[in-house]
Amino acid sequence: MSRIGRLPVELPGSVKAEFRDGELTIEGPKGKLHQAVPDGINVIVEDKRLRVERKGDTRQSRALHGLIRSLANNMVIGVMHGYSKTLWGVGVGYGAKKQGNKLSVQVGYAHDVLFEIPKGIEVSDITSGSLPSGSRSIPMAILTGSGPDKQMVGQLAASIRSSRRPEPYQGKGVRYANEHIRRKAGKRFGAGG
């Protein structure tokens, strides 16, 4: 039996869970999330506790047992506290502007890169500032995306990062706030000859 799948998910006081017709719905202060549950898995909602059980012992149901439990746990954390990802745009002229439900990002191209902000995700802290201490003094933009759905927040951050991945020589590009970029030495000229 799955070690993760066996663990119950504790529901805090302000979180409500419901499992009906193969769909798990969790509602809390930060929003409401839905997750489709496959046929071989059953979710049992008890007083302030949620358990995930598999109906059979097929390979697929064993594989999905821990996954559904982890997704349910992420949903509970999301509706209680939310998830956020912070990105740094390191480079001259890098920045971002919010235009309605779209995000326009300037990352060194001749054109702006547009991203659609999914419903339920907030993008904030679009500022220019200086790098943290110990870094080179290149202007940068700081961008934070937050929301209750971990997958949507992560996907938006990954899409923005992929618009200009950090390069290892000067460190320019879009990176996560806690990401460390291994730097490479540039070309060196020989000592004459």
**Confidence (pTM):** 0.84
In order of their start, the domains of the chain are: 3-80 (3.90.930.12), 83-176 (3.90.930.12)
Going by their DSSP bridges, the two strands 140-147 and 173-176 should be labelled as unpaired
Q: Tell me the average pLDDT of the chain.
A: 86
Q: Check residue 177 and give its pLDDT.
A: 87
Distance, CA of 71 to CA of 149 (rounded, Å): 10
Question: For 36-65, how does the pLDDT look when each residue is reduced to its tens digit (9 = 90+)?
Answer: 999 989 999 998 999 999 998 889 998 899
Q: Check residue 186 and give its pLDDT.
A: 80
Is 135 in contact with 183 (CB distance < 8 Å)? no
